[in-house]
Structure 1
Amino acid sequence: MFDLHRLRLLRELKDRGTLAAVAAALSYSPSSVSQQLSQLESEVGVRLLEPVGRRVRLTPQAEILVAHTEAVLERLERAEADIATSLTDLTGTLRVASFQTAARTLVPTALTLLREAHPGLRVHLTQMEPEESLSALLARDFDLVIAEEYPGLPNPRPAGIEQEDLCEDPLHLAPPQLASHLAPPVPASDAQSPIAALRALADHPWAMEPAGSAARHWATTLCRHAGFEPDVRFESSDLLLHLRLVERGHAAALLPGLLWDKQPATVALRQLPRGQRARRLFTAVRSGRSHHPAVVACRRALRQAT
């Protein structure tokens, strides 16, 4: 019988990449993690790790073992959910990760609903972009992730994650407010064209999310389809900063509807081309955990909050 704790360490190494990262995540020393994995190799009777420069990688046999470990852990997730369902009161801690705009607008209302319905449930919230939070979900750093998907850019769907749609969030073009008179003229016959509105801002500075993010890839692609390369002078994942730059005429931006939290928009908004007018918001949990009462309650509260 293989030791489950050591199997989880091997799985953590696959997800996190280095012994140091595993040790930091689990509050162990790297030498302790290495020792435990050496003992697992003795139990299994084959090499599980092989050196690659200063790092190690899993052998094919270790990959087989991790696949079986995933199945075992999923069964344990289901067992935990069944036990929680059998209890009268919902208690414990639910660890949630959310990107900024959802954390600002949807989560506070959902927390209020959860507190009223389940006062014994403790919710721990971390603001994190989906590029990181979905990987952290698989690594068991979180129980539920609120994430986004931009038009034309479907997210990878790992086998170990179950997604549930939450809502669609409208996306708009926001020209720089105080500098709108400087924009190149748009022909009157084409004044309402979303593509023309984008092209009219080709020579203006832009505020966008950092390079490498899904939002940045989508925004850059949108501008390129309109025939220009955006002059990105302001990079930040803080969309409130984007909004302030637009309000003061320093930049154009692409802003989501959630930014105003059901209040009137504070800047003029233009429509985007068809097929690019909304991002998809969804919640994600590990396979086997979707029926856990805390997850069910949180998803219900988030749906009410939308």
Structure 2
Amino acid sequence: ARTHPLLEPRITELDPAAVPAALRAADLDVALIHEYDFVPAHAEPGLSSRELFTEPLYLAAPEPGALGDHSHSPWIVSPSGTLCRTMAERACEANGFSPRVRHEADDFDTVLALVALGQGVAIIPHLGALDPPAGVTLTRLPAFRRTQVAYRTGAAGHPAIAAVTRALRDAVPADLRSEAGQEP
């Protein structure tokens, strides 16, 4: 908005499942979407996307350890039906177990607070774990979350879409730019 004063950006939080229809209906012009190694995105008719950055995933637990070490631990996961929940379930299944869900929370600060209280373990993306509380150990996993900017096919060249996309790319933290193939 500072560099383009005639643009009036508006933020809307939507369930990720509602984003494609909102973009196609022009209720949204641009959206941030995620995909995980364990939950690849499917192409949506009429929509295009471009990667902004890739970030590592971490096991958040009281002590260091591998994901497979927590087959009997209580888990803190996102609510059922969410992409993040599906990712956690599939990551655990890839390690030979189903998570024993104790808590469901969608806010990473809440999840980390529960881990710090000894209420379970969780999988957290890098940007959700920038300042973990005491009592939380982050162990990097061999998995990633990709954040993309999505828009209607053919709209990438529109000045407003290009300006928002450029502003989003400029806002990517320097430590993640190299992971996404961008120059720091």
- Regions of 4+ moved over 3 Å: 263-266
* CA RMSD in angstroms, aligned pairs only: 1.8
Q: Which has the higher helix share?
A: 1
Unaligned 5+ segments in structure 1 are 1-114, 181-191
The one of 14, 21, 30 equivalent to 1:128 is: 14
**Are the counterparts in 1 of residues 58 and 139 from structure 2 also a CA contact under 8 Å?**
yes
1:250 aligns with 2:119: yes
TM-score normalised to structure 1 length: 0.52
What letter is aligned with 2:77? M
Unaligned 5+ segments in structure 2 are 173-184
1:52-73 superposed Cα distances (whole Å, 9 cap, x missing partner): xxxxxxxxxxxxxxxxxxxxxx
1:148 aligns with 2:34: yes
Please give the alpha-carbon distance, in whole angstroms, between the structure 2 residues aligned to 1:245 and 1:297.
39
Please give the alpha-carbon distance, in whole angstroms, between the structure 1 residues aligned to 2:105 and 2:27.
25
Please give the alpha-carbon distance, in whole angstroms, between the structure 2 residues aligned to 1:203 and 1:152.
21
The one of 275, 289, 293 equivalent to 2:155 is: 289
From the CA coordinates, give the structure whose radius of gyration is larger: 1
Please show how residues 155-234 of structure 1 align to structure 2 within 5 Å. 155-175=41-61, 177=62, 180=63, 197-234=66-103
Post-superposition offset of 1:240: 2.0
TM-score normalised to structure 2 length: 0.84
Identity in percent:
35
1:235 aligns with 2:104: yes
Q: Which has the higher strand share?
A: 2
Please show how residues 86-97 of structure 1 align to structure 2 within 5 Å. none
Please give the alpha-carbon distance, in whole angstroms, between the structure 2 residues aligned to 1:168 and 1:135.
25
**Are the counterparts in 2 of residues 129 and 147 from structure 1 also a CA contact under 8 Å?**
no
Change (3 A) 1:279 1:217: same
**Are the counterparts in 2 of residues 168 and 281 from structure 1 also a CA contact under 8 Å?**
yes
1:256-279 superposed Cα distances (whole Å, 9 cap, x missing partner): 11124xx4544311122x3x2x11
